[in-house]
């Protein structure tokens, strides 16, 4: 079965729509949190996800929008966007975010926003943090987001070490029974210098993970953010992918 792996959509509906058109057929969406925050269309993004069979873990911005977490842990621009998002969300969509688990296991794959051991908040940005997670939690393949940077970390059992692999967009990653932490990158606010929406396709029969990028109409998202008076810094960064 093919599964669409999404993370950090952040209320960017034009990006989400481009991903859905690009993805081809898939059985379910597995979402790694931060559906909302930053972007102009939080309700549309949640409503769109509801139309598919969905497994989803909670992100720190989802919690911020709900008031489950203190907004002062966020920077000023993120906080302003979360306050706007909180007012915007329908009661039904608030409930949907509130019901999200912090992490979950689907067909043997661990899904979390941040990391296996600290699912809502920890950033896995380097091999040291990945290594601690491999040693602390028993999992084969974990799918995480949060950093907005596509990446693969591999546990090397012989040396008991961890290595970082740069995602290859030319061909699929073969899982080969290895212990891996895979981050597909962000749909709605990429930060790896490439403004195209990032996502992944997991094929559980072939045991492959495909990293994908697709351009989307960034200017439409930016115009919607301007109309809603969201912070300029958040608007500008989309076209740079940073
Ligand atoms: Zn995020």
Alpha carbon of 61 to ligand 1 centroid (Å): 7
H/E element holding 214?
strand 208-214
Alpha carbon of 23 to ligand 1 centroid (Å): 21
Residue 57 CA from chain centroid, whole number? 10
> Structurally, how many domains does the chain consist of?
1
Q: What pLDDT, in 10s, does the model give residues 124-178?
A: 999 999 999 999 999 999 999 999 999 999 999 999 999 999 999 999 999 999 9
Alpha carbon of 159 to ligand 1 centroid (Å): 33
Alpha carbon of 34 to ligand 1 centroid (Å): 5
Residue ranges with CB less than 5 Å from ion ligand 1: 8, 34
Integer CA distances (angstroms), 239 to 35, 188, 189, 236, in order:
20, 11, 9, 6
Alpha carbon of 125 to ligand 1 centroid (Å): 13
Q: What pLDDT, in 10s, does the model give residues 10-57?
A: 999 999 999 999 999 999 999 999 999 999 999 999 999 999 999 999
What integer is the mean pLDDT of 185-208?
98
Q: How many other C-beta atoms can be found within 10 angstroms of the C-beta atom of residue 214?
A: 16
Alpha carbon of 158 to ligand 1 centroid (Å): 34
H/E element holding 161?
strand 161-165
Q: What pLDDT, in 10s, does the model give residues 167-188?
A: 999 999 999 999 999 999 999 9
The domain spanning residue 70 has which CATH number?
Answer: 3.60.21.10
Q: State which residues form the domain around 20.
A: 2-238
pTM: 0.97
């Amino acid at each position: 079965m093919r599964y669409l792996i999404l993370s950090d959509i952040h209320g960017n509906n034009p990006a989400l729509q481009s991903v859905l058109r690009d993805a081809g057929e898939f059985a379910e969406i597995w979402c790694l949190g931060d559906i909302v925050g930053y972007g102009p269309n939080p309700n549309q993004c949640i409503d769109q996800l509801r139309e598919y069979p969905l497994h989803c873990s909670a992100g720190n911005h989802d919690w911020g929008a709900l008031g489950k977490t203190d907004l002062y842990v966020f920077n000023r621009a993120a906080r302003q966007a979360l306050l706007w998002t909180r007012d915007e969300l329908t009661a039904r969509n608030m409930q949907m975010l509130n019901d999200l688990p912090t992490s979950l296991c689907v067909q043997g794959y661990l899904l979390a926003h941040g990391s296996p051991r600290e699912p809502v908040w920890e950033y896995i940005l380097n091999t040291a943090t990945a290594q601690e997670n491999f040693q602390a939690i028993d999992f084969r393949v974990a799918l995480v987001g949060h950093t907005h940077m596509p990446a693969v970390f591999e546990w090397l059992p012989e040396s008991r070490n961890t290595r970082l692999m740069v995602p290859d967009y030319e061909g699929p990653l073969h899982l080969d029974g290895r212990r891996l932490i895979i981050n597909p990158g962000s749909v709605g606010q990429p930060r790896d210098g490439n403004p195209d929406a990032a996502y992944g396709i997991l094929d559980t029969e072939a045991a492959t993970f495909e990293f994908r990028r697709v351009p989307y109409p960034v200017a439409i998202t930016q115009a919607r953010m301007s109309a809603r008076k969201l912070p300029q810094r958040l608007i500008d960064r989309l076209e740079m992918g940073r």
